[in-house]
Chain A
Amino acid sequence: MDRREFLSAMAAMPVAGALQPRPIPSYRVVTPHKPAALPGMPGPYPGRVVTVHSPRCIDETTEKVDVPSVRAMIAGGMTTLTGDKDPRDSWARFFNAGDFVGIKVNASGAPGAMSTPEVVAEIANNLIAVGVKPANIVIHERGSGQILLPRYDRFVPAGIRVESANSWLGLDPDVYVEANFFGEEDTRSYLIRMVTESFTKIVNVPNMKDHGASGVTGCLKNIAYGEFNNVARSHYHAQTETLTFIGTLATVEPLRSRTVLNIMDGLRGVWHAGPFSRERKFRFYPKQMKFGTDPVAIDRFLIDIIDDKRKKEGVISVWNRDMKYFSTNPEDWDRDPNMNRSIREPGHIEYASTLGLGVYDTNKIRHTELTI
C-alpha cells in the first residue's frame, strides 16, 4: 500500500449507517476433480445433527479434559447419528482400511482454544479401530505455526503425523478459486495438495468460536479457510467477502466430496475476539460435541450458541451491523465485546445452504440431543 492507497482506504472508511451490501464477487473455480456420487457434504445425513452434552467432559478451572467422557460422547454421537448399536459400525460406514484420512483440526486459537487433543486422539483411535493405518492418518492445518502448539503428537497413537501445507506437499497448482475482491494482485486461493493427492476422506473437527469477520467459525469456515491459502484477503476491510467466499470454497472438489464427517468440538468455546483466544475471559464451556455430515445444519446451531452466550454477557449480537460498534483499532476489539473489527457475516452459513452444502432452516433439521 502506498500513500494513494491510504487515501483511498480512508475515503472508503465506513460511516454509520452508510454501508451498502456488496455484490457477490465473480468466482472462477478451477479443478479437474469431479464430485463423488454422494459428496461428503451434505453427505448421507443432510439436515441431521446430533448433540452430545457432558457436564464432566472438561474442568472449567483447570481446563483438564476427562477422556472417558470424551470417549462416551463420541461413541454416543456416532451411534445416534447412524442408528447403529456398535460405534465401530458407525465409523465403518464412513471409513475403511483402504482410506487415507485427514483430520482437519482448528488450531487458530491455540493454545487457549483449539480442537482438543483428547478429542482428536479419540477420533484417531476410532479410525484405527475400523482398519485405517496410523501411517494413513494425518492431523493437519494449512499453516505451520499454530498446529504445533497443542502437541497432538503426544496424544495420538504412534505413526500418526501432524502436518501443514508448509511441511508436506504444499499447494495444488491445479485447484484454486480466483476472485478479485478489493483490487488485490494475488487473486488466487489454492487448495492444499494433501487434500487433492493423498486424502481419500476428511474428518472436520472445528470448534465453537466467535469470528470477527464471519460471525462464527464452525464446520464451513474450518474446512474452507483452513484448506485453501490466501483467504485472509477476504476480510482486510470493514466489509468482508466472507458471506460468499466460505461457502464457495467449501464446494470445490475434491474437498466437498472427501469431507465425510463433521465433529464439532464444543468442550470449550470462544464468545468474543475469535478465532483467537488471547483472553481467557472470552472463553466459555459449552461442554458438548455436535455430529453430522451436514456442515450447514451444525453451523446453524453454532450461531445460536455463540449469540446466546453473547446475550448472557450483555453484549451485541453477531448479527449487529451498526457501524457505531466498529473500530479499526484492534485493541478496541480485543478488549471490548461491543466492538467489531469487521461487519460480521454469520449469513455465510445460510448462503452455503444455497450452494447445496446443507440445510439451514431449523424447522427442517432433525436435531437429537443427549447427555452423557
Chain B
Amino acid sequence: MTSAASSLVQQGLAAPAPAGAEAAAFQEVPHAGLRSVPNVARATNVPWIDSNGWRFQRGIRKANYTKLPAGSAALAAAEAFTFNVDAILNPDPADIQELGRMLQFLKANGQAPLPVLANIGVVDDRSSLMGEVLNLLTRRNLLYRVVAAPDPALGLTVQLGTPDFPTEAASNPNEFAARVRAKLGDDNRLVRLYGTSTVIARLTGNGRRARLILLSFDRNRRQQTEDPAAIRVRLLGRYRPAKFAPYRSGSDATLTDVRHSGNTTEFWVPSFNTVAIIDLDAIDDAALGGSSPHDH
C-alpha cells in the first residue's frame, strides 16, 4: 500500500509498498472497472469490462495499480485477490475506508491457493493480438491456462496456426473467442453464469474441494438490488456448497436452489457487492451410493 493508505498499514490490513528494485518487479497495470458504451446496433448502452485478469493469467504475479481513480481501489484489491497476485495499490484518499473494509473481508477469507481449474490450454505467442484473445476468454469465463505446449490433460488446446485456430482467425478476437467457445461446447464449460454479463469467475480446486470467486464489474459493483437469485451458476462437476462469503451483504445471504443434474451443479447467488467467494466440497458419489440429496 502506498503512503496514501498508511492507516491501513497501521491497522495490519496491508504492507507498505516496496521501494527501489523490489518495487521495480511490480508491473504497472491499469485500474479495473466498467464502462458503458453505446451499442451501434441498438438504442441501448452496453457494458465494457476493463479487467486485468488476462494479464495475470498470462503471467504477471506482481502488479502495480498506479493512480487508482476514486471508486476503484476496492475492486483492484478484489481483482488481485481473485487472481492471487501481489499488488501495490495507490488509492484515492476517498477510497481508504472502503478499501479497508475490502481488505478486512479478503483477509478473513484468505486461504492457501488451490490449483487453477481450466479445461482450455492456450499456447500464447505473446502477441498483442493473442493478448486480446486472452482478454475476451477471461471476460467470457472460458476458463483457460496459458501453456507452453499442448497439454493432453486439457480438453481443448488453442494454438494459432492449427486447423481449428488458423492464424488469420485471430485478427478478430471476438469471433476467435466465439470459435473457442464453439469448439469446447457450452456443456463442457467449467463455469457458466446466467443473469449477468459483468461478472468474471475464477475457479480453483484440488479434486476434494474447490473455490469459486465471482468478481463483479457492475456499475455499482452490485448485482440487482437485494435479489436473492441474481445469478445462476452452473459448474461442471458435482459439488456441495460449503461456505458463501459475499462482500457487504447481509449475514443471511445464502446460495439457494442447489441442483445436481448429471455431472453438474447449479445454484442461485444472491446480489453481492464487488466480490463473492464460494467454497465447495466435491461430492463423493461412491460414498453417497451414486446420488446426492440434491439430485434433481
Interface of A is mostly: loop
Q: Chain A: which residue is nearest B47 at the CB level? A: A1
Q: Mark A304-325, 1 if CB is under 8 A from B, else 0.
A: 0000000000000000000000
- Give the CA-CA distance A10 to B40 in the complex, in Å: 7
Contact of A183 among B178, B195, B257, B268 (CB under 8 A): B178
Q: Mark B195-210, 1 if CB is under 8 A from A, else 0.
A: 1110000000000000
| B295 nearest CB across to chain A (Å) | 13
**Neighbouring A residues of B172 by C-beta, 8 Å:** 4, 7-8
| B262 nearest CB across to chain A (Å) | 13
**Neighbouring A residues of B173 by C-beta, 8 Å:** 4
Contact of A173 among B46, B139, B186, B268 (CB under 8 A): B268
Spot the interface stretch: A55-63, A85-93, A147-155, A230-238.
A230-238
Cβ of B108 within 8 Å of any chain A Cβ, yes or no, is: no
**Neighbouring B residues of A166 by C-beta, 8 Å:** 224, 227
Contact of A330 among B43, B186, B196 (CB under 8 A): B43
Q: Are A170 and B140 in contact (CB under 8 A)?
A: no
Given A166-B224, A173-B259, A2:B41 Cβ within 8 A = no
- Give the CA-CA distance A366 to B26 in the complex, in Å: 77
| B22 nearest CB across to chain A (Å) | 34
Spot the interface stretch: A120-128, A185-193, A241-249, A281-289.
A185-193
Q: Chain A: which residue is nearest B42 at the CB level? A: A236
Q: Are B259 and A1 in contact (CB under 8 A)?
A: no
Q: Interface of A with B (CB < 8 Å)?
A: 1-2, 4-10, 12-13, 166, 170-171, 173-174, 180, 183-188, 190, 229-230, 236-238, 328-330, 333, 341
Given contacts A7-B174, A9-B41, A187-B186, 11 further A-B contacts (CB under 8 A): A1-B37, A1-B47, A2-B48, A2-B174, A7-B172, A170-B229, A171-B229, A174-B259, A180-B186, A186-B193, A330-B43
Q: Interface of B with A (CB < 8 Å)?
A: 37, 39-44, 46-48, 132, 135-136, 139-141, 172-175, 178, 181, 186, 192-197, 224, 227-229, 232, 257, 259, 266, 268, 296
